[in-house]
Amino acid sequence: MSAIDAAGPGTPAPPAEGEAVRIEGLRKSFGANEVLRGIDLSIATHEVVCLIGASGSGKSTLLRCLNLLEPIDAGRISLWGQQITGAGVDQNLVRRYVGIVFQSFNLFPHMSVLRNVTLAPIKARKVPRAQAEEEARALLRRFGLLDKEADYPDRLSGGQQQRVAIVRALAMRPQIMLLDEVTSALDPELVAEVLDVIRELAANGMTMLIATHEMGFARDIASRVCFLADGAIVEQGPPSALFTEPKDERTQKFLRRIVEAGRL
């Protein structure tokens, strides 16, 4: 995905290099429960950052805040130097630059695969239908899903549905992709095909923030791994460093449990 590809007619293309995402002092509570307690994170263009941590540590919340699906309580988020969490920001426009894929796929059950993929480009990017379908088919072919274009989501396996969800997000030509534990709901034998898709995206230079439990995958693909605990980034660094010599005690404890479970 070239960074020069605009997110739609009339939208400016962001810079091809440099800092893509900056998160400063992000706080988010749900009622009395403070989930994110001051997150500071910077992601450069083409970087692939993996978020790891126990359930409830705030990984999903962080991703949803980045996509403006959740309003934040304090702090700020900037994309390419422009703040997106202030007042008067066009949220729909921001979301065209940042794609997100969910753990539970969330495909639209009343639409065929092709329509799932083309709906947003037609309505939000204002692409004509014929062109949108052509682009959609190209994406589906690229990920081996073209023969399923007329099927409805509940006829597909979990792995296929998740890959369609990724294609659906990609159809909007985002510059940044957020992946929220996208393989956690899949049976083990279906995980690989989804990971392959993500690998390909990374290889093509997509800026990504990936929340995952797949440690082996994280070690392979990430340029940086962040460990989240109790709503803050406890430790971050290249996977080679973090996985072999974690500095913080909480990181060590977490990794030990992962190893014991045989997942690293």
Interatomic CA distance for residues 247 and 235, integer angstroms: 8
Phi, psi of 140 (to 5 degrees): -65, -40
Query: Using CB under 8 A, which of 119, 146, 258, 264 touches another protein?
Result: 119
Helix (H, G, I), strand (E, B) or coil at 208: strand
Considering the rule CB under 8 A, would residue 13 count as an interface residue with another protein? no
Beta bridge partners of 33: 30
Which one of 29-37, 61-69, 136-144, 221-229 is the stretch in contact with another protein (CB under 8 A)? 61-69
- Residue with Cβ nearer another protein (27 or 115): 115
Interatomic CA distance for residues 26 and 166, integer angstroms: 27
How many other C-beta atoms can be found within 10 angstroms of the C-beta atom of residue 248? 13
Helix (H, G, I), strand (E, B) or coil at 164: helix
Query: Using CB under 8 A, which of 51, 77, 107, 197 touches another protein?
Result: 107
Which one of 38-46, 136-144, 146-154, 216-224 is the stretch in contact with another protein (CB under 8 A)? 146-154
Which one of 42-50, 98-106, 198-206, 245-253 is the stretch in contact with another protein (CB under 8 A)? 98-106
Considering the rule CB under 8 A, would residue 105 count as an interface residue with another protein? yes
Considering the rule CB under 8 A, would residue 123 count as an interface residue with another protein? yes
Q: Are 242 and 251 in contact (CB under 8 A)?
A: yes
Per 3-state DSSP, the chain is made up of helix, strand and coil in percentages (nearest 5) of: 40, 25, 40
Beta-sheet pairing, 98-101 with 48-53: unpaired
- Residue with Cβ nearer another protein (54 or 124): 124
Considering the rule CB under 8 A, would residue 113 count as an interface residue with another protein? no
Q: Are 135 and 171 in contact (CB under 8 A)?
A: yes
Considering the rule CB under 8 A, would residue 129 count as an interface residue with another protein? no
Query: Using CB under 8 A, which of 58, 153, 239, 246 touches another protein?
Result: 153
Q: Are 1 and 173 in contact (CB under 8 A)?
A: yes
Considering the rule CB under 8 A, would residue 12 count as an interface residue with another protein? no
Residue numbers 71-90 binding another protein by CB under 8 A: none
- Residue with Cβ nearer another protein (78 or 106): 106
Considering the rule CB under 8 A, would residue 169 count as an interface residue with another protein? yes
Beta-sheet pairing, 82-83 with 232-237: unpaired
The Cα angle at residue 173 between residues 171 and 3, in degrees rounded to 5: 155
Considering the rule CB under 8 A, would residue 67 count as an interface residue with another protein? yes
Residues contributing to the site for another protein (CB under 8 A): 64, 67, 69, 91-93, 95-96, 99-100, 102, 104-110, 119-120, 123-125, 152-158, 161, 168-169, 172, 185-187
